[in-house]
Structure 1
Amino acid sequence: MKTVLSIAALAFIAVSSATLAQDKQTATADFVGGDGKASGRATLTAAANGGVLIEVEVAGLPANKWVAFHVHETGNCDAAVHHESAGKHFNPTNAEHGLLSAKGPHAGDMPNQYVDQDGVLRAQIFDSMVTLDGKTDGIRGRALIVHANSDDYRSQPAGDAGKRLACGVIK
């Protein structure tokens, strides 16, 4: 028996395959603040040679201040417990915390980000130590956290970054 597909069916298959491939290369994280209300979004894009580009915009933060920005291990953003449900920093290699640590950093450690005078963090950050869907370094299903203080890049286990102000699950 011979199967013949129409041009429309072939076009649908091609578009569906392209969409599926794109979905595997991108992810989003919708942030909620400490009050549980929506506060922003991140778009994550897998780089061809590894790493992930994170484009983020989060509102309702303290103005004119440097804040820590990390990947956390658990994709749970419960504002009722100050986003502690997101767990610790994502650290699949059991490295020490901190970009300036001799035995670090964690895969979830990223540079501090600046919140402008309008209380909005806008940034593009590249994390070369993670992938979207890798077996050990994959971050889809984990959480992004904006902390109240800047990361000192050395203190264990989390850089003295302070309270968790906003959280987004990577989907």
Structure 2
Amino acid sequence: MPRRQDQPPPWPHAPTHLLDARGIYFVTAGTHLKQHHFRDPARLEVLQRGLLTITHKFGLRLEAWAVFSNHYHFIAKTPPDVEGAESLPVMVRALHGPLSRWVNKLDGTPERKVWHNYWETLLTKQTSYFARLNYTHNNAVKHGLVQVARDYPWCSAAWFERETAPAMVRAIERFKTERLKVEDDFQPE
């Protein structure tokens, strides 16, 4: 059974990926040693485009995302025609592999380790889902990169505001995020 949002990981440096349940997952991935490999707008654009492309290719319905110089978060629903989320590790490798080769080629460091790990949480409660939507959309604000989430171009906040009823946007924004246990001690550049 996947780790529920109220359970700590068994060992935070090497999380167990138990993906036998279909549903909505909150995923965080970080770079090795929290290095800022995606530190400029062009690199952030490639990371975002890669995330959007690969989740679509794997049939995940992306519901929120935020990408930064040294980590990213996303929320996605598994395809309705599969029993679990076993394709999630394959999808993450399909994203991380090409991105690692690309950024290492730019930096002239072909063998450098770029990604450290990723953590996923199966969201089983509507309140947890809404809180993580708010968290993901406002992550750039949390990290001090913008004052208003929709102003950060590498996240879903502006898209969410355009595509969602204003009452729903306001409702999601009211969900508290302070008590969420999210692996997010990254400080983006």
TM norm structure 1? 0.33
Greater helix fraction, Structure 1 or Structure 2: 2
Greater strand fraction, Structure 1 or Structure 2: 1
TM norm structure 2? 0.31
